[in-house]
Structures are given as C-alpha cells and as structure tokens.
Copies of this chain bind each other. A is one copy, B any other.
C-alpha cells in the first residue's frame, strides 16, 4: 500500500468521521492520541491505554533518541515491542522539542544541532536523520516530517522564511522516506497566523504528496480564538480524502472546535500531565481533587465514562490520595483523563455519524460555559 486507506463514513458540516486503516489496526477518527513521550503513557499500563479507548499512541523522537537511544530501541525489537503496545504509533519528528530548547540549539538549512537536556551530549537532527529514527529505528507507523515550529507572535517575513524552510525540509523528509509498504509520512503546515502563508504551505505540501497533513505551529500561546481562526483558513486547503492532524492540542473544548473545523487527529499531554497534578477533566471543564470540597464527596469522577478509574473510586478517596502524595492518585486521575478524552472523541464520532454534530457542539459549549464561567 501507499497511503493507509482512509474511509470517511460521514460528514457533518466540516466535521468528518471515519477510519484510518493501518497495518497495526484501525484508527477511528476523530482520534485522540495519548502521548507516550518516553515509551510510556505516564502512569498508565499499556492495557489501560487500550481499555481507555485509544487506537493509537504518540511517541516523542527527541526523548527516545536521547534515552534509551533509537539504535537501542531498534536492537530491542522496535518501539511497539519495547513498550508492549501492538497498536499503531505516530512519532513526532523531534523538531518541536528541539525548537523548545532555547539556547541549547542551532538551526541551519541542514538541520538543528542541539545539546541533550539529560547529559549535555551533542546531537544533530536533520530531516534525513529524523526519518531514520522514526521509520527505521523506532518503527513508527506514521512518521512526521521535520519542520521548524514558528514562534508566536512572529512577523510576516520571518513566518514566511520559516514556513519555506519547513517546505524544503518536508521535501527532504519525503525523499528520505521513499515508498514504504506499511508506513506513512505526514507533512506539517506552517505559516503562523497569516492566511496566505498557511495556504501557500498547504499547497506546497500537497505537491510533495504526503499521506496525511498536520497543522503545526499552534498550541504555542496563540490562544483559543486565534487557533480557531488559523484552522478556518487552513483546513479548506487540505485534501478532503487524507487525514488532518492538529498537533499538540488541547483542552476538550479545543478538540470540539477543531473537529468542527475538519480535524481528524489530535495529541496532547494534557490528560496525563494534569492527572499528575490532581486535576480531572469533564465537559464542565477541569476540577482539582485537592480541593477541600471533595474531602467527603462519595461520587465517582464520572460514571458515564466506561473506565474503572472514572467509575469505581470516590472523589473523597482520590482527594485523600492526592493530598497524601500517593502514586495511586496520579494513576487514577491520568487513566480517567485519558478515558474521558477518548469518550469525548467517541461521542463526537457518534454525533457526526448521526448528523447531529451541531447540536452536540452547542450542548457541549453550554456545559463548558456553565462549568467554567467562560465561553472557551
């Protein structure tokens, strides 16, 4: 095969639902990918990730190339075998994490030279090396092109130059990737907040011909409204028949609004990170189990979510665990949050299938506003 078959079962407005059929299993879209940075979705067993409803994980090239090392993962049978996850895995290119290493990195046309945050060792990430790590060594089902994440805010000229570099890196990534039987490669649209740059980026990527298209350069501080605006001017330029992936986003409301704008795939550390900080997510927004109001609250986190972490433990017990700094508090909250995110995706898929996504979205926004006191 070239591109994984992507069967769009229903379209409702801009929103779509379908199945991306990889050789390691089907991905039901819109899909949320829990983040397994260091070859583990933090504080969850792999079985629990699956049980929570995830079809696909994300792995971080930057972290894995430094520890345990991509060659070592290869010798140990590849990332799937290493971490005992037999479903599909998408890896990022490492570009975003390296870009975040302000002061420790040096960009050039060739790629990014950087120092490890773990031991200070020197490394070079090029489009070719990133593909080698992702596709050959880790064995990702979906690899991402190396790109430069444009900062926010960014002047138009700088945004254009950055976006053009990402286009050239995209071509080199594609060249290095070649044709593979059971692996795919996605390109990444950049262009900051400038509609014409986003369009130019999308058109150039389509010419390079990727298996799927990501929207990059968001979730970097631009805010909710700007994110929606960028999606409004970007997704219309992406091919209908290929999956669209919004990188690093976000809160539940962000997911709902991005699905409304035609996005099919997401990843975010939020459910696991906030779980480790005592926070649980819901349609009414986040709530912190540390708060005294939960000390004797016998209700579960959310009995509508089909997950032991959501259903079986009282808020009072989780409050106690969080206050006492117990592992189990982080474990239960992380598992619940992943399950809640996956449940939200399932509800969106059902709403799109049944042609009632607008109603679902309106009801969700009402609950969100009721719970948070804010529209978004």
Contacts and interface: CB of A to CB of B under 8 A. Distances in A.
A201 interface: no
B68 A295 contact: yes
Interface string A298-327: 100000000010001110110111011011
B67 A324 contact: yes
Interface in A200-235: none
B76 A314 contact: yes
A38 interface: yes
A84 B84 CA distance: 28
Contact of A328 (B44, B313, B316): B44
Contacts of A330: 327
B296 A72 contact: yes
Interface string A30-47: 000000001110111101
Contact of A295 (B72, B83, B312): B72
Q: This chain: how many copies in the complex?
A: 2
A224 B161 CA distance: 71
A320 B45 contact: no
Contacts of A346: none
A67 B327 contact: no
B331 A43 contact: yes
A141 to B, nearest CB: 20
A38 B308 CA distance: 21
The 10 residue pairs across chains A and B that have the minimum distance between CB atoms = A43-B327, A68-B320, A40-B328, A38-B324, A40-B326, A76-B316, A82-B317, A42-B327, A67-B324, A38-B326
5 contacts: A42-B326, A43-B331, A45-B328, A45-B331, A67-B320
